[in-house]
Amino acid sequence: MNESKRPSYWSWALSDPGTERFQRAGRRLLVTMFVWGVCQSGSSYLIQHGFLPAAGPIPWVVAALPSVVAVFLLVGYSRMLREADELHRLIQLRALALGFGGGYFVISGYLLLEAAGAPTLRVDVLIAVLPLLYAVGLVLGSRRYR
């Protein structure tokens, strides 16, 4: 196979022939990820820019909506892992380990640097390290097991 014609991780992982249930679970997961991202970003934007009333149930509902969608995201991810073969499951779990473990150490390490005088970063900037390292883990795993 020509080196430049290699498929991306997502096309490789979500188009494994003979695993229609895995493909469906992966597509549902991608849609749920998108919905969660829109809810998270939208809620954050509405709250930070004062588009919501100061009191009452509406700010609470808007703030809780991403967490409700996150429950569906976790259920979808669990479903996708159940439908995955051993190789896909291994890649996913190794990527999760890198994302969670690396993210934890980056966040805790930067908090120490802040205490030592580094500029203060918003929590959402620090938390963004987790999915970035997870994505790096997916890329590394897909390249390793081709």
Instruction: Compute CA distances 44 → 37, 59, 92, 110, 126, whole Å.
Output: 11, 11, 28, 23, 16
Average pLDDT over the chain reads 87
Q: What is the pLDDT of residue 21?
A: 83
Distance CA 95, CA 92 (A): 5
* Structure-token match 């499951």, residue found: 89
Residue predicted with more confidence, 21 or 107: 107
Residue predicted with more confidence, 128 or 145: 128
Cβ atoms within 10 Å of 29's Cβ, excluding its own: 20
Residue 8 has pLDDT above 70, yes or no: no
* Structure-token match 């997961």, residue found: 29
What are the tens digits of pLDDT across the range 40-89? 999 999 998 999 998 999 999 999 999 999 999 999 999 999 988 888 89
Contact in structure between 47 and 53 (CB atoms under 8 Å): no
Residue 6 has pLDDT above 70, yes or no: no
Distance CA 23, CA 83 (A): 9
Strand residues in the chain grouped as ranges (E): none
Domain ranges of the chain: 17-84, 85-146
